[in-house]
Structure 1
């Protein structure tokens, strides 16, 4: 399955990637761990919109 030479890119934060990832996957995180934590906090305590805005601007 898959194509020869294909690369799997994992966009999760480094700490998530460290816990589990597909063998051979390359981590290119959208957020570093600290930013991911802050965006999650905004989502949970304020609103998805606030989290989205921080994620876009951050």
Structure 2
């Protein structure tokens, strides 16, 4: 079984960004550090809102 995380980030313009990853800690650090995601990049201040853990069968 493999685990995935769906996460939601609140951007500085009050819009949300939703992503999926199998390594939540690494992905959140990437967003906080570089924000190179095409949608998040111009939005300098972001805040992690929530995550959901999914497991494949």
TM-score by length of 1: 0.24
Higher relative contact order (CA 8 A, sep 6+): 2
Instruction: Name the one with the larger helix percent.
Output: 1
Decide which structure has the larger Cα Rg and report it. Answer: 1
